[in-house]
Amino acid sequence: QVQLQQSGPGLVKPSQTLSLTCAISGDSVSSSSSTWNWIRQSPTRGLEWLGRTYFRSKWYNDYALSVKSPITINPDTSKNQFSLRLDSVTPEDTAVYYCVRGLGTGGSYMDVWGKGTTVTVSS
Amino acid sequence: DIVMTQSPDSLAVSLGERATINCKSSQSVLYISDNKNYLAWYQQKPGQPPKLLIYWASTRESGVPDRFSGSGSGTDFTLTISSLQAEDVAVYYCQQYYITPLAFGQGTRLEIK
């Protein structure tokens, strides 16, 4: 059974960096049939896909260009986890953040979700 | 970018009755090469992450009751709950995974009448 365990701070100051980590059990971050996604949810913007990392003979990343804060998603094969970094955050980045597995070699549907981390951006 | 629009925004249905939720994409999510619609449905209850119900527009995820069904193709899709149960009270989302950026509908809140 695949499980995703999220970790990271719940409070970040404006202009600082938001960093979250997602530890994977029951699957591999290097799997060639999975993608590893970050999705956030807020009352104003609903469910918003931020980006993903995945391995298909080499590593790939896709990001949502609509997000104003620069995004970086990185795999860590030594720890079987992946991370989200959001730079120069503003109060607009306040949301519940989910790490999510996508299943499928082409387009991938989101079949396993982490429990979510509530992140507040405030001084 | 593909925009997903659900209707209605909220819905109240009596126990045992049928509930129908619609989802429209701004462009087709049918991939001609494999004849699959890259469309999923999720259920979200308060304080929980979304749960996958349906993928490929009509394939039920393992463990999902058969009262949930998905239909449609191209740009127009429907989630149907054939006989509403109390535990089905939730917000329902459609999502396209045809192309990035992946996109969700705004959600439909389902309540008991």
Q: B15-61 pLDDT, tens per residue? A: 999 999 999 999 999 999 999 999 999 999 999 999 999 999 999 99
Q: Which residues does chain A have within 8 Å of residue B37's beta carbon, measured at their own beta carbons?
A: none
Judged by CB atoms closer than 8 Å, whether chains meet at B52 and A65 is answered as no
For A91, which DSSP code?
G
The answer to whether the CB of A52 falls within 8 A of the CB of A102 is yes
Where are the extended beta strands (E) located within B14-83?
19-25, 30-31, 36-37, 39-44, 51-55, 59-60, 68-73, 76-81
Provide the mean pLDDT of chain A: 96
- Judged by a CB distance cut-off of 8 A, whether residue B11 touches chain A is no
Across the A/B interface, how many CB contacts are shorter than 8 Å?
56
Q: What is the pLDDT of residues B65-112, one digit of tens each?
A: 999 999 999 999 999 999 999 999 999 999 999 999 999 999 999 999
Closest-CA residue of chain A to B29: A107
Provide the mean pLDDT of chain B: 97
Judged by CB atoms closer than 8 Å, whether chains meet at B99 and A37 is answered as no
pLDDT at A107 over 90: no
Q: Where are the alpha helices (DSSP H) in A2-83?
A: none
Rounded CA-CA distance A27/A14 in Å is: 35
Q: What is the pLDDT of residues A48-80, one digit of tens each?
A: 999 999 999 999 999 999 998 999 999 999 999
Q: Which of A9, A102, A106 has the alpha carbon at shortest distance from A56?
A: A106
Q: Which residues does chain B have within 8 Å of residue A71's beta carbon, measured at their own beta carbons?
A: none
Reported confidence tier of residue B8, pLDDT bands at 50, 70, 90: very high
Q: Which residues does chain A have within 8 Å of residue B102's beta carbon, measured at their own beta carbons?
A: 37, 49
Judged by CB atoms closer than 8 Å, whether chains meet at B49 and A115 is answered as yes
